[in-house]
Chain A
Amino acid sequence: MNHEYTEPSQDRQQWLSLMAKTPLEDLKDQWTHCLKTTQLIPENIEQYAQAIRPIQTGLVQVRGRMGGNGNRFNVGDMTVTRAAINCEGFQGFGYIAGRSKTHANLIALLDALLQNPQYQVVLQSSLLTPLADLRHKVLQTNVEKTAETRVEFFTVVRGED
């Protein structure tokens, strides 16, 4: 390959990851809320977006390494849906686990909007921050629930000398 590849910014990786891990319902709710409260982004913004490639669902082979540094092995196949759109000169991509085309398309749209300096600040504060809080809460609840059932193992050292 001799075509240039530019590393996506840390921010972009983070928001793509966050939106992909947020359940569709939560993402939709927050997005509608954001549209209503901020009044900056036109409500029909979706109509300005064109697909670069139709939304596709397919399989991705997941590979792993034992302990993170062993030999590579195939863990299995994973269903992935992807979308790519143009919106006002910005290109947005959405990749999610599963087969929800709406979810992938919404992420692609938001990714394009988030790259637009005109909307970025507003979206960061009224969409990404609440979503990050929500995600943090979910993870926190998981940790607490797991902690309740935690079992401590003790090993009695035998004296053999």
Chain B
Amino acid sequence: MTTDNNESEDTYLYAGFSDPVTEAQSVFRKMLKAMSEPGNVQFIKNGPTLSNLGSAAFSTLLTLADNETPLWLSPAFNDELTRRNLAFHCGSSLVEQSKDAAFILAEGTTTLLPEECNQGDPAWPDTSATVLLQVDAINPSNDQGQTLTLKGPGIQTSRTLTVQGLAPQWLTWLQQRHLSFPLGLDLILVSDAQMTALPRSVLVTLLDSDSDGQSNEKEFQTCTLR
């Protein structure tokens, strides 16, 4: 099938979910699992893909984004094809400023700073943004990447998660974000068909960093109890 007649390649519409209700429910269930057990990796196989978006990234947006959720795209994803397809399938308005967005879509190595996203306000912490970062790999079979130790609600003792291709400013921010709890961002990491979540309730320490996980945890408890 040719795609190059009068519609140019960059404005072509691709198929979304073939059965929107069932597929969106199935993806939503997986996201719920990933969110409630941070670091649990879910697979969205045979999902639709779009331009630079893998099946996990596109399926997540198809499931969550709609006309009430302003979306910000990082320059890596902000091409005509992606914009047109997301406008058609999700109907989200695209915003220029990342502060105004309910959903942020960026690559793991983005130059975007966590502080540039809406972290909610003390009266309404739930109005914060959800950040979707497409990283190079999650739990890769080679030994590359940064290993994170996760603790907190939904994890019995602790869990490790290896992420390849996550920008340093996000790694630093992950280790400190419990200080501003309940404000913060909920992070969804995707890579091709894999998806995992790091909601703001999870306590992150880098495995090979010097910081002491124990002391972080104490701080975290005082923050949540207050």
Interface residues of A (CB under 8 A from B): 1-4, 48, 50-54, 84, 86, 88-91, 115-117
> Known contacts A3-B87, A53-B89: does B15 contact A116 (CB below 8 Å)?
no
Q: Once the chains bind, are A90 and B6 in contact (CB under 8 Å)?
A: yes
Binary per-residue interface labels of chain B (154-166) against chain A in the complex, 1 for a CB within 8 Å, 0 otherwise: 0000000000000
**B-side contacts of A54, CB under 8 Å:** 18-20
**Chain B interfacial residues counted at CB < 8 A:** 24
Q: Once the chains bind, are A90 and B89 in contact (CB under 8 Å)?
A: no
* Residue among A2, A89, A115 making CB contact with B3, cutoff 8 Å: A89
For residue B14, CB closer than 8 A to chain A, the reply is yes
Q: How many angstroms from the CA of A54 to the CA of B6 in the assembled complex?
A: 23
Q: Please give me the residue from chain A that is nearest to B15 by CB atom.
A: A52
**Most A CB within 10 A of own CB, among B13, B83, B89, B96:** B13
Q: How many angstroms from the CA of A103 to the CA of B6 in the assembled complex?
A: 25
Cβ distance B6 to chain A, nearest Cβ, rounded Å: 7
Q: Once the chains bind, are A89 and B94 in contact (CB under 8 Å)?
A: no
* Residue among A3, A4, A115 making CB contact with B6, cutoff 8 Å: A115
Q: How many angstroms from the CA of A127 to the CA of B20 in the assembled complex?
A: 34
Q: How many angstroms from the CA of A50 to the CA of B93 in the assembled complex?
A: 26
Cβ distance A67 to chain B, nearest Cβ, rounded Å: 31
Q: Once the chains bind, are A51 and B15 in contact (CB under 8 Å)?
A: yes
Q: Please give me the residue from chain B that is nearest to A87 by CB atom.
A: B1
Q: Once the chains bind, are A53 and B5 in contact (CB under 8 Å)?
A: no
Q: How many angstroms from the CA of A115 to the CA of B3 in the assembled complex?
A: 13
Q: What are 11 residue pairs bridging A and B, where the CB atoms are less than 8 Å apart in the complex?
A: A2-B83, A3-B83, A52-B15, A52-B16, A53-B16, A84-B88, A86-B15, A89-B2, A89-B5, A90-B6, A117-B6
**B-side contacts of A51, CB under 8 Å:** 15, 18
* Residue among B1, B13, B20, B93 making CB contact with A1, cutoff 8 Å: B93
Q: How many angstroms from the CA of A5 to the CA of B158 in the assembled complex?
A: 50
Q: Once the chains bind, are B84 and A3 in contact (CB under 8 Å)?
A: yes
Q: Once the chains bind, are B94 and A2 in contact (CB under 8 Å)?
A: yes
Q: How many angstroms from the CA of A91 to the CA of B87 in the assembled complex?
A: 15
For residue B143, CB closer than 8 A to chain A, the reply is no
* Residue among A4, A84, A88 making CB contact with B13, cutoff 8 Å: A84
Given A48-B1, A51-B18, A91-B7, output 15 extra A-B contacts at Cβ < 8 Å: A2-B96, A3-B80, A3-B83, A3-B87, A4-B80, A50-B15, A52-B13, A52-B16, A53-B16, A53-B88, A84-B13, A86-B1, A89-B1, A89-B7, A91-B13
**B-side contacts of A52, CB under 8 Å:** 13-16, 88
> Known contacts A2-B94, A3-B84, A54-B19: does B5 contact A88 (CB below 8 Å)?
yes
Cβ distance A113 to chain B, nearest Cβ, rounded Å: 12
Q: How many angstroms from the CA of A143 to the CA of B12 in the assembled complex?
A: 44
Q: How many angstroms from the CA of A91 to the CA of B6 in the assembled complex?
A: 10
Cβ distance B63 to chain A, nearest Cβ, rounded Å: 15
**A-side contacts of B89, CB under 8 Å:** 53
Q: Once the chains bind, are B94 and A3 in contact (CB under 8 Å)?
A: yes
Q: How many angstroms from the CA of A52 to the CA of B48 in the assembled complex?
A: 11
Q: Please give me the residue from chain B that is nearest to A116 by CB atom.
A: B5
**A-side contacts of B210, CB under 8 Å:** none
